């Protein structure tokens, strides 16, 4: 099923999404590709410091960006998803404390993150391989960029998106994960694969 989501996002809305659904996102999203960024986010949350941007019920995507700054105004020229597994140690804390609704990137998240998504009502959206040019066209205005002491693609960037997609619900808000299903299927077939290899030598 195809869904068009507009910010602000709600738990009720997100829990209706099913594994494998296609999603297009419009409105405010937040992204960064930097480990130091997510480490800093966790530090702020744990120390109860005010974040530079309201992230309650937000979409937080694991995206790197090529951006251009002119007289203090930012323009995002190109975005590319980064591997989400790098952020596994930080995502449960951020999901639960910020009540995040959408996470996105490539490669999925671990079981601890899946539990947090289910608890809060948040989904993980998979960005398609090779889709960067399409996703980049969906990036419109840049209301704010924070933590400019970091290199550009590490900065915490707020952007207005228009029909960002297609994105696939790869982990839903009920504990179901495409990555886990694939891994389980491979594990079941592995003995059969090994036996076939031993028989044919190929």
Give how far Cα 71 sits from Cα of 1, 68, 74, 143, Å: 43, 10, 8, 14
pTM, 2 dp = 0.89
DSSP string, 7-48: SSP-HHHHHT--TT-EEEEEEEEEE---HHHHHHHHHHHHTT
* More confident position, 69 or 62: 62
Distance CA 8, CA 185 (A): 36
73 pLDDT band (50/70/90 cuts)?
A: confident
Residue ranges and CATH numbers for the domains of the chain are 2-176 (3.20.130.10)
Query: So what's the pLDDT on residue 193?
Result: 46
Distance CA 69, CA 67 (A): 7
Q: Write the pLDDT tens digit of every residue in 148-184.
A: 999 988 999 999 999 999 999 999 999 999 988 766 5
| Mean pLDDT for the stretch of residues 81-85 | 95
């Amino acid at each position: 099923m195809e869904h068009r989501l507009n910010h602000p996002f709600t738990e009720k809305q997100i829990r209706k999404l099913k594994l494998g659904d296609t999603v297009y996102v419009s409105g405010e999203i937040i992204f960064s590709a930097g480990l130091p960024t997510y480490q800093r986010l966790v530090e702020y949350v744990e120390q109860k410091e005010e974040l530079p941007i309201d992230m309650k019920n937000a979409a937080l995507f694991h995206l790197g960006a090529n951006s251009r700054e002119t007289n203090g105004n930012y323009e995002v020229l190109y975005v590319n998803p980064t591997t989400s597994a790098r952020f596994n140690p930080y995502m449960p804390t951020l999901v639960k404390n910020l009540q995040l609704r959408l996470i996105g990137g490539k490669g999925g998240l671990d079981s601890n993150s899946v539990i947090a998504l289910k608890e809060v009502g948040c989904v993980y959206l998979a960005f398609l391989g090779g889709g960067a040019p399409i996703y980049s066209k969906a990036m419109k205005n840049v209301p704010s960029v924070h933590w400019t002491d970091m290199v550009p693609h590490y900065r915490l960037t707020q952007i207005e998106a228009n029909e960002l997609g297609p994105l696939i619900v790869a982990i839903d808000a009920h504990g179901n994960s495409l990555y886990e299903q694939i891994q389980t299927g491979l594990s079941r077939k592995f003995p059969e694969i090994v036996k076939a290899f031993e028989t044919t030598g190929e």
